[in-house]
Amino acid sequence: MTLPAQTAPPGAPKKVTVATLASFRARGRRAAFVTAYDYPTAVFADRAGVDMLLVGDSAAMTMLGYPNTLGVSMDEMLIFARAVCRGAKRAFVIGDMPFLSYQASDEDAVRNAGAFLVAGCDAVKCEGGARVASRVRAITDAGVAVMGHLGLTPQSQAQLGGYRVQGKTLAAVQRLTDDALALQGAGAFAVLLEAVPAEAAAYVRERVDLLVYGIGAGPHVDGQLVISHDILGSFVGEIRPRFIRRYAELDVEVERAFRAYADDVRAGRFPAAEHLYPIDPEHEAEIRAARTPVVLRSAATKDLSTIA
Ligand code: KIV
């Protein structure tokens, strides 16, 4: 039996896959990688040619206002993931396994990783190295592509003593490399290095076959991840990592727009004539004539409204 070829609609962008990412590396092309948690952001980033989207558990902080990443649940992550996957026609989408979605058992890990795939994601990400390698093995054995996450791993920030740069000595970089090799042995296709010196990232990348991405890890990696709220200027909070470059000031722009709208409403400038639904003038006159005179209504209800 010949199966019908799976063809994308004409003109549709070609989806980025693990093979595409490997070919980027072979050609020395660095991947552009941002976080996304909602449909419009996914659509805009996808249209802009961003290659990879992370539905990060940073949603706890960027979208839900928690002080760290621990508060977001698997159910909440799946809502974000489905929205992003609906918007991403080309970009490779990674679902970030939230705290306690994979730590307790292989079964949890496989079930929750699978839920991200059912939601439309192309891969999942887990924090940790050797100590989560058996979970990563269980997930990859279930057919799910896994990206590891080493260096500053926010889910264990209490153990790390806060949000601190990692891999600052040769011994620490060797431990990072061992962790990356453990992930490689467990079948991961990539690792993300967060908040490590550029030399440390280069050292790890030279010693593994994994694709190596960085967030605050310098230029010697296969692609750069940023939290979209950080580059767009829409993060509400005090954290300002040194590796961020701002490309927009959405906080200022959004606040300006809301202030202008509120001023217009209060001053009666909105809605204006062009915002009203026109109807047949005869019907309009009939409805106007049938309206309760304001004076009577005010008297009946003791409402002092004078809206004509
Ligand atoms: O959740 C996230 O956005 C992340 C990045 C900080 C690496 O895991």
| pLDDT in the model for residue 159 | 86
Query: 272 CA distance to ligand 1 centroid (A)?
Result: 44
pLDDT of 301 higher than 60: no
Instruction: Enter the tokens of residue 126.
Output: 């887990």
| pLDDT in the model for residue 163 | 83
pLDDT of 26 higher than 80: yes
**Mean pLDDT along residues 1-8:** 49
Q: What is the 3-state secondary structure (H, E, C) of 213-258?
A: EEECCCCCCCEEEECHHHHHCCCCCCCCCCCCCCCCCHHHHHHHHH
| CB burial string 239-249: b at 16+ within 10 A, e below | eeeeebeeeee
Q: How many Å apart are CA 3 and CA 41, to the nearest integer?
A: 35
Q: Which atom of ligand 1 is nearest to the CA of 227?
A: 3
Is-cis flag, bond preceding 271, omega within 30?
yes
Put simply, whether the predicted model's pTM sits higher than 0.75 gets the answer yes
| pLDDT in the model for residue 168 | 95
Look up 238 and say whether it is catalytic. no
Task: Name the band, by pLDDT with cuts 50, 70 and 90, for residue 11.
Answer: confident
Task: Name the band, by pLDDT with cuts 50, 70 and 90, for residue 292.
Answer: confident
Kindly report which listed range (16-20, 130-134, 161-165, 170-174) carries the lowest average pLDDT score. Answer: 161-165
Q: Which residues contact 60 (CB under 8 A, 6 or more apart)?
A: 66, 68, 69, 70, 71, 72, 98
Instruction: Enter the tokens of residue 108.
Output: 């949890």
Q: How many Å apart are CA 133 and CA 61, to the nearest integer?
A: 27
**Mean pLDDT along residues 59-71:** 96
| pLDDT in the model for residue 269 | 98
pLDDT of 81 higher than 90: yes
Q: Which residue has the higher pLDDT, 283 or 237?
A: 283
Query: 138 CA distance to ligand 1 centroid (A)?
Result: 22
Residue % of the chain over a pLDDT of 70: 93
The dihedral built from the CA positions of residue 21, 208, 98 and 140, taken in this order, carries a sign that is positive
Annotated catalytic residue: which of 194, 249, 253, 282?
Answer: 194
| Pocket of ligand 1 contains residue 97 by CB under 6 Å | no
| pLDDT in the model for residue 12 | 82
| Pocket of ligand 1 contains residue 117 by CB under 6 Å | no
| pLDDT in the model for residue 246 | 96
Helices (H), the chain: 18-26, 39-47, 59-62, 74-87, 106-118, 133-141, 157-160, 170-185, 198-207, 228-232, 250-267, 281-290, 294-301
pLDDT in tens, 105-130: 999 999 999 999 999 999 999 999 99
**Mean pLDDT along residues 14-41:** 98
pLDDT of 62 higher than 50: yes
Q: How many Å apart are CA 166 and CA 151, to the nearest integer?
A: 5
First vs last C-alpha separation in the chain: 73
| pLDDT in the model for residue 4 | 45
Q: What DSSP state is assigned to residue 128?
A: B
The residue whose CA is least distant from atom 2 of ligand 1 is 56
Instruction: Enter the tokens of residue 295.
Output: 């004076």
| pLDDT in the model for residue 295 | 59
